[in-house]
Copies of this chain bind each other. A is one copy, B any other.
């Protein structure tokens, strides 16, 4: 079981790298060289970060990406939301109602508590706090 998938991990690394550049535009070739992430995969990831308003994109020669907002306002939670859409820990148990209600409800409450904690913690981890 992975809390953080490869997409999210790569996105995190790229964002940390870009954040350190202090607003300078960074292009894919440099990121590939530095981070050793497969080029086409990285491009896909950066494109989605752009679509979701995390990065600003600049086309054409000399183009690239920079952060679209301050590093302290980009959170791990946001990335999870992009790459591991609307994840919730208690998936199985809700969708199919096979289990007797008592157990379902007892378990649901406990799992929900865990989920709330995890989400809260992930909302506190910003790019800024990682490069600090």
Contact = CB atoms under 8 A, between A and B. Distances in A.
Number of copies: 2
Given A9-B92, A106-B130, A111 B1 contact: no
Contact of A98 (B5, B35, B89, B99): B35
A131 interface: yes
A33 interface: no
A6 interface: yes
Contact of A2 (B1, B124, B131, B132): B1
A113 interface: yes
Nearest to A119: B114
A27 interface: no
Interface residues of A, number: 40
A2 B89 contact: yes
A110 B76 CA distance: 11
Given A2-B89, A13-B103, A106-B130, 5 more contacts: A1-B84, A4-B92, A9-B92, A102-B130, A102-B131
A110 B125 contact: yes
B129 A4 contact: no
Contacts of A130: 102-103, 106-107
A93 interface: yes
Contact of A103 (B3, B16, B36, B121): B16
